[in-house]
Amino acid sequence: MALVVQKYGGTSVGSVERIKNVARRVAKTYDEGNDVVVIVSAMAGETNRLVALTQEVCEFPSEREYDVVVSTGEQVTIGLLSMCLQSMGYKAKSYLGPQIPVMTDNAFSKARIKSIDDKKVREDLKNGNIIVVAGFQGTDLDGNITTLGRGGSDTSAVAVAAALKADVCEIYTDVDGVYTTDPRIVENASKIERVSYDEMLEMASLGAKILQIRSVEFAKKYGVVIHVRSSFNDNPGTLVMKEDSEMETVLVSGVTYNKDEAKISVLRVPDKPGIASKLFAPLTDANITVDMIIQNVSNEGYTDMTFTVLKSDFKKALKIVEELAGEIGAEKVQGDENIAKVSIVGVGMRSHSGIASKMFTTLAEEGVNIEMISTSEIKVSCVIDSKYTELAVRVLHDAFELGSDPEAE
Amino acid sequence: MALVVQKYGGTSVGSVERIKNVARRVAKTYDEGNDVVVIVSAMAGETNRLVALTQEVCEFPSEREYDVVVSTGEQVTIGLLSMCLQSMGYKAKSYLGPQIPVMTDNAFSKARIKSIDDKKVREDLKNGNIIVVAGFQGTDLDGNITTLGRGGSDTSAVAVAAALKADVCEIYTDVDGVYTTDPRIVENASKIERVSYDEMLEMASLGAKILQIRSVEFAKKYGVVIHVRSSFNDNPGTLVMKEDSEMETVLVSGVTYNKDEAKISVLRVPDKPGIASKLFAPLTDANITVDMIIQNVSNEGYTDMTFTVLKSDFKKALKIVEELAGEIGAEKVQGDENIAKVSIVGVGMRSHSGIASKMFTTLAEEGVNIEMISTSEIKVSCVIDSKYTELAVRVLHDAFELGSDPEAE
């Protein structure tokens, strides 16, 4: 008998029919002899509806009150799922974040979980209950409702799994698992059986939108095994877990891409100490996150700096930099929204050389120019012209032999 | 400076526009130098939407989980109203029932308030906050969410007013106050300035749907002065308060009617001990509430019994009684859905004689036959053919001189 934590996202509970579907799946896991704790999101569309209501009231709502309003979405789902399980003859009990309690700091609308009390839940499990927990929400020390930010239900699930020392945390979503790349671009993209926390973190931050990054950090910290799988079939999904020696034999685990960024170049800046700080401090003050930063070696006392920001911040960032250009003596500022970041990720890179070079060669052979490069221990990212995105993803996926072999199946 | 509790119902907060309207009214009361605690209902239609969701899941949802779902309606309103007040520059803070806490018993979906802790609210008031409280909800000793039943926000408001020893509890609704009768039937129905708790209780139970009965019982018990008034204008409304000698000088305070009941007659029953018990015990077992019961004097060892039930229970009740008829030796069972109960209410009846007789005469003069009569210390009710309802209400309203005098204004 195992203790299984399951998390169902908004699409999986998007209608009463789908909630009934989730109830059947939960019941099946319970019938197989497991203790089950279910974490659910708001029904698809509900959080957007609630956010729109707050926007109708005022443009910048108080974050405390914002959390009071938006946390109702999950509350509705836990009640509906619990009564559904009960009508099928199971003992079920719902819990709001504050009822467990899931204790967080008081950073409303982006709170972080501090601790989870497992006492009440354990007792209810012992009495044969299926436990249904509202994701996304918690309470601070003063009893205020807090929420964890978009996608926070993943983190709720992993944190509950950690607190209960669950055997596995199953994250149900609308795809079968984590793929070597986007199957909409590469037809023979294959499902990854096992992926390490670090690889998953890189993939998530590089644009693969399967798990909230914070949930993976949490899982890594507490050693929670995450099983990403589909709520619409019974296929085994992807295990996100501690790295082992076998994982290292794979050179590259996946190819990701991200079209959400734009590039700003500051050309011929006098290369003096303090230039970078003068340039980036105002961006930080304006709450603009800078991703990649490239500074070329100095040439005749001048240098070029290029960096990327989210497309949604692009206009604002460009304006700030243009205003600074005179002050720091730059010759010219250029912006470019037509870029994409293509990356390869794999813990195998640590022990295998030549992987970055193989990536550059592969792109060059297709005539794809690389505009920026950034690397970490387990990933290489290249910024390219966005029109080559799909081509680049396909040739890299092929070059590193990530596709499933139809004949082997 | 006074402490004012205001309660706004679903219609008053039915849209963001109306919530803004409520915020302006609350702010005005605050600006006049008062401490203000606001109790709100769910936005009009929202509770129905949530109940429909639970019905879609299963016909008889668990009451604990039902309360988890339906209590979200009020939660959304308190967040929206608080952020609205803040955007206008006021300090405001929302409270859920369980956050205050409003302690109740654990009778889910029809819980009763046991106590209210005023500590946190008092402190927030002292710091200049306007307090916005979710009506309708509380928590039991185990931390479960409970709700008070339909219309429960009135009771929340009165209970909060009692706990805080507020100077007045203003209940805002879509009418100007309590009228001598339904203005849709009698054009010159006049607003009652002051009405006693007992009169209000009779009126509420006789069909005037202004205040939830339990809220009036609560107000009577704790001496809370209720001011019923409109959220759409500034007219003074009706004060519901302790009876005083002046109220007794008025013979009749109001005329009410109720078309929600139906009549069942059991004819020529052998008049033996235990007959009434045999007849009514099965109805009680079936959860059918019987209102008026009339038993005629025995005639040659036989009697007739007539009683009224809610129209929604009529078919079920008729079937039960028809099955019993043989057993108790009754000759015939008759049902009639076309009845109405017309009543006059007033504490003046205690000290003035002839009021019932005047009612009977007035109806007789118009050819309205009285089918059943029931009386209490401060009301007389007559069951009549429903087609005479409006006529009866009008002539009684005239006979007891309840209309406003247009020339006097």
**pLDDT tens per residue, range A191-209:** 999 999 999 999 987 777 7
**Touching check for A404 and chain B: CB below 8 Å?**
no
- pLDDT-based confidence at B409, cuts 50/70/90? very low
Query: How many pairs of residues across A and B have Cβ atoms under 8 Å apart?
Result: 111
Is there a domain that residue B84 lies in?
Answer: yes
Q: What is the least distance, in Å, from the CA of A107 to any CA of chain B?
A: 16
Is residue B335 within 8 Å of residue B318, measured between CB atoms?
yes
Which residue has 């219609």 as its token pair?
B11
pLDDT of residue A408: 47
Q: What is the least distance, in Å, from the CA of A58 to any CA of chain B?
A: 7
Check pLDDT > 80 for residue B408.
no
Q: What is the least distance, in Å, from the CA of A89 to any CA of chain B?
A: 12
Which residue has 């209410």 as its token pair?
B345
Amino acid at A34: N
Q: What is the least distance, in Å, from the CA of A225 to any CA of chain B?
A: 31
Among A195-199, B209-213, B223-227, name the one with the lowest average pLDDT: B209-213
What's the mean pLDDT in B92-112? Answer: 96
How far, CA to CA in Å, does B407 sit from each of A6, B252, B329? 73, 22, 61
Cβ contact A57–B80 (<8 Å): yes
Q: What is the least distance, in Å, from the CA of A67 to any CA of chain B?
A: 8
- Write out chain A residues lying below 8 Å of B85, CB-based: none
Instruction: Kindly tell me the burial class for residue A268, based on how many C-beta atoms sit within 10 Å of its own C-beta (0-12, 13-18, 19 or more).
Output: middle
What's the mean pLDDT in A301-316? Answer: 92
- Write out chain A residues lying below 8 Å of B143, CB-based: 99
pLDDT of residue A295: 82
Q: Which CATH number is A146's domain given?
A: 3.40.1160.10
Helices (H), ranges, B93-186: 119-126, 152-163
SS3 content of chain B, % helix, strand, coil (to 5): 40, 25, 35
What's the mean pLDDT in B61-85? Answer: 97
Residues paired with A265 in a beta bridge: A306, A334
Cα–Cα distance, A168 to A1 (Å, whole number): 12
**Touching check for A16 and chain B: CB below 8 Å?**
yes
Of A20, A65, A92, Cβ closest to residue B82: A65
**Touching check for B337 and chain A: CB below 8 Å?**
no
Task: Tell me the three state secondary structure of residue A359.
Answer: helix
Q: How many angstroms from the chain centroid is the CA of residue B213?
A: 4
Check pLDDT > 70 for residue A246.
yes
Domain assignment of residue B83, given as a range: 3-174
**Touching check for B106 and chain A: CB below 8 Å?**
no
Mean pLDDT, all residues of chain B = 92
What's the mean pLDDT in B388-405? Answer: 93
**Touching check for B82 and chain A: CB below 8 Å?**
yes
Is there a domain that residue A187 lies in?
Answer: no
- Write out chain B residues lying below 8 Å of A82, CB-based: 62, 65, 68
Beta-carbon contacts of residue B398 (< 8 Å; ≥ 6 apart): none
A345: nearest Cα among A216, A199, A237: A199
Cβ contact A57–B84 (<8 Å): yes
Is there a domain that residue B40 lies in?
Answer: yes
Is there a domain that residue B262 lies in?
Answer: no
Is there a domain that residue B236 lies in?
Answer: no
What's the mean pLDDT in B333-357? Answer: 91
Q: What would you report as the CA-atom Rg of chain A, rounded to the nearest whole angstrom?
A: 24
Of B16, B50, B78, Cβ closest to residue A76: B50
| b/e A289-318 (16+ beta carbons within 10 angstroms → b) | ebbbebeeeeeeeebbbbbbbeeebbeebb
Q: What is the pLDDT of residues A258-269, one digit of tens each?
A: 999 999 999 999
Is residue A257 within 8 Å of residue A182, measured between CB atoms?
yes
Cβ contact A68–B61 (<8 Å): no
Rounded-to-10 torsion of CA B295, B297, B299, B304: -10
What's the mean pLDDT in B162-191? Answer: 93
Task: Work out how many domains chain B is built from and give that number.
Answer: 1
Through-space distance between the first and last CA atoms of chain B, rounded to whole angstroms: 32
Is there a domain that residue A230 lies in?
Answer: no
- pLDDT-based confidence at A407, cuts 50/70/90? low
Tell me what percent of the residues of chain B surpass a pLDDT of 70: 99
Which residue has 């944190």 as its token pair?
A159
DSSP code for B355: H
pTM (2 decimals)? 0.84
**Touching check for A58 and chain B: CB below 8 Å?**
yes
**Touching check for B51 and chain A: CB below 8 Å?**
no
**Touching check for B101 and chain A: CB below 8 Å?**
no
Instruction: Tell whether the torsion through CA atoms of A120, A122, A127 and A133 is positive or negative.
Output: positive
Cβ contact A61–B54 (<8 Å): no
Q: What is the least distance, in Å, from the CA of B21 to any CA of chain A?
A: 11
* Strand duo B261-270 + B254-258: pairing: unpaired
Q: What is the pLDDT of residues B227-258, one digit of tens each?
A: 999 988 999 999 999 998 888 888 899 999 99
Beta-carbon contacts of residue B168 (< 8 Å; ≥ 6 apart): B2, B4, B5, B161, B225, B226, B227
Instruction: Tell whether the torsion through CA atoms of A116, A26, A171 and A72 is positive or negative.
Output: negative
Instruction: Tell whether the torsion through CA atoms of A61, A63, A68 and A72 is positive or negative.
Output: positive
pLDDT of residue A409: 41
**Touching check for A68 and chain B: CB below 8 Å?**
yes
Cα–Cα distance, B297 to B305 (Å, whole number): 10
Q: How many angstroms from the chain centroid is the CA of residue B126?
A: 34
Cβ contact A68–B50 (<8 Å): no
B217: nearest Cα among B133, B139, B159: B159
Is residue B254 within 8 Å of residue B179, measured between CB atoms?
yes
Cβ contact B83–A50 (<8 Å): no
**Touching check for A57 and chain B: CB below 8 Å?**
yes
Is there a domain that residue B18 lies in?
Answer: yes
Check pLDDT > 60 for residue B285.
yes
Amino acid at B8: Y
pLDDT of residue B142: 95
Of B57, B67, B86, Cβ closest to residue A80: B57
Mean pLDDT, all residues of chain A = 92
pLDDT of residue B273: 80
**Touching check for A54 and chain B: CB below 8 Å?**
yes
Q: Give the CA count within 13 Å in the CB-facing half-sphere of A313.
A: 19
How far, CA to CA in Å, does A96 sit from each of A8, A86, A90, A341, B137? 15, 18, 20, 40, 15
Tokens of A403: 């596709």
**Touching check for A20 and chain B: CB below 8 Å?**
yes
Segments of A159-301 assigned E as strands: 168-173, 194-196, 226-230, 238-241, 254-258, 261-270, 290-295
Check pLDDT > 80 for residue B208.
no
pLDDT of residue B377: 87
What's the mean pLDDT in B18-27? Answer: 97
Cβ contact B65–A54 (<8 Å): no
Is there a domain that residue B311 lies in?
Answer: no
ipTM above 0.85 for this complex: no
Tally Cβ neighbours within 10 Å of residue A124.
18
Amino acid at A372: M
Question: Inter-axis angle of helices B389-399 and B355-365, to 10 degrees?
Answer: 130
Check pLDDT > 70 for residue A400.
yes
Tokens of A136: 């996304």
**Touching check for A62 and chain B: CB below 8 Å?**
yes
- Write out chain A residues lying below 8 Å of B71, CB-based: 75
